[in-house]
Amino acid sequence: MTRGRARPGQGGFSLLEVLVAFAVLTVTLGVLLNIFSLAIRTTQSALEQQKAMLLAESKLTELDAGSRLRPGREQGWFDDHYWWETRVEEFDLRGLMENDSMLMPYRMEVVVGWGRDQQYRLSTLRLVRLEAR
C-alpha cells in the first residue's frame, strides 16, 4: 500500500486550475447578480408606474363624477409616496364650435407623482351644458 504517491492516471487539479475555476465562477456570479438586480429595479419601477396610473384614473373618475365642474387646481397626497394635483379649466373651442352652442368644454387633468421627478399625467375633455354650470 502506497500513501502520498499518486498512481498513474489519477491526477488531481493543480492549484492554478482551481484558481482559474474560482475566478470564472466569481465573474459569472457577479454578472448574474447584476442581471437580477436590474430585473428587480425594473419590476419595482413598473409597479410604481402601474400604481400611479391606477391612482390617476381613480382621481380623474372622482373628478368627473362631481355634480359641477369649477375651474381651479387642487393638490393632495394619497400616502407618503404618491401625491396628486388636479386642474380644471375652460377649454377654448371658439374656432371649432358655434358661439350659440349650449355646451361648454372643460379640460380636466390629473397628475400623480412620486419620487424626485417621476409623474403620470391623464387629461380629458368634458362637455357641460351651460345651464348646468
**Does some domain include residue 6?**
no
CA Rg value for the chain: 32
Cα separation of 102 and 18, whole Å?
Answer: 85
Task: For 56-67, write each residue's pLDDT tens digit.
Answer: 999 999 888 876
Give the three cell numbers for residue 1: 500500500
CATH of the domain at 101: 2.20.130.10
Task: For 32-82, write each residue's pLDDT tens digit.
Answer: 999 999 999 999 999 999 999 999 999 999 888 876 778 899 999 998 899
**Does some domain include residue 55?**
yes
pLDDT for 76: 93
pLDDT for 56: 94
Domain count, the chain: 1
Cα separation of 128 and 107, whole Å?
Answer: 11
pLDDT for 8: 64
**Does some domain include residue 86?**
yes
